[in-house]
Structure 1
Amino acid sequence: MIPELTADNRRFWTGGADGRLHVPYCERCARWVLPPEAECPRCDGALGERAVSGEGTVFTYTVNRHPFNPAVPSPYVVAIVELAEQADLRVATNIVDCEHDSVTIGMPVTVRFEAQPSSGETVYVPVFAPLGATS
């Protein structure tokens, strides 16, 4: 499910068109911010955006075996990935391009994007695959 695009989150959801994950960044306190917000939750500073490396590790995960959405074949992995740029910079995502039972906490992963239509625009949903996996 794609959230409604707003001025605060549009770059995060559409930035994958260039193959990079764009994350809000506060110049004032040098913090990355996810989920995207209007201003920095730490210092109330204005947020810009920067592309991150797209690499991280699986912080936690679950394997969904129940077919909640008929368009999404089960089982599938829902994970929280901690991005390499900041210890508490985490994104909810899916793990792809591997067997669901091979996912582990601490597994190194890298971002991929799945293009999806949303209200007349294309959004690029960030998903993650094991580092070194080929799609």
Structure 2
Amino acid sequence: MRDGDWPDPPASPESAAFVEAAREGRFLLRRCTACGKAHWYPRSSCPFCLGETAWEEASGEGTIYSYTMLAREDPPRTIAYVTLAEGPTMLTSLVDCEAESLAIGQPVRLVFAQSRNGTPVPCFRPVEAAEPSQAGPVP
């Protein structure tokens, strides 16, 4: 999908901090203050122990766990489960790539696409072999 073609994510008070950070090019996750596990999709209660969670900035780096190309969509797009460097696995879209060149375990990096109303949507693209690793947020 092209920028501006993504559906608008639902707005909620719980997602406001995520959206604000994404508008600044930062990717946030929630981590449990009790058990210490990070999780995706962000929510205020930990899905593992029901403890409280807090926002933290994530690296935006991960690897492809699984993927498929939706060939019947126009234009076709690739969706994937990406395991983030911080541990959680998230369902997302892979952009700026050819599905035929993808592989399980391939490194990917976060990019924000724009929804119809301009809300940033977290997607990933393959990391080129010569591309340096990035420790901070991804614009």
TM-score calculated relative to the size of structure 2 = 0.79
Q: Report how far residue 2 of structure 1 moved.
A: 3.8
Q: Deviations over 1:95-132 (max 9, x none)?
A: 111112111111100000012244xxx42101101113
Q: Which has the higher strand share?
A: 1
Q: Percent same amino acid among aligned pairs?
A: 32
2:9–2:119 Cα contact (<8 Å) kept? no
Counterpart for residue 61 of structure 1: 67
Q: Give the Cα–Cα distance (whole angstroms) in 2 for the partners of residues 123 and 14 of structure 1.
A: 9
Counterpart for residue 99 of structure 1: 98
Q: How many residues align?
A: 124
Q: Give the Cα–Cα distance (whole angstroms) in 2 for the partners of residues 24 and 2 of structure 1.
A: 21
1:22–1:51 Cα contact (<8 Å) kept? yes
TM-score calculated relative to the size of structure 1 = 0.81
| Residue of 118, 124, 131 corresponding to 1:128 | 124
Alignment partner of 1:20 is 2:16: no
1:15–1:124 Cα contact (<8 Å) kept? no
Q: Report how far residue 43 of structure 1 moved.
A: 2.3
Runs of 4+ residues over 4 Å off in structure 1: none
Deviates more, 1:1-10 or 1:43-52: 1-10
Q: Report how far residue 5 of structure 1 moved.
A: 1.9
Q: Give the Cα–Cα distance (whole angstroms) in 2 for the partners of residues 125 and 111 of structure 1.
A: 10
| Structure 2, unaligned runs of 5 or more | 1-6, 132-139
Q: RMSD across aligned C-alpha pairs, in angstroms?
A: 1.9
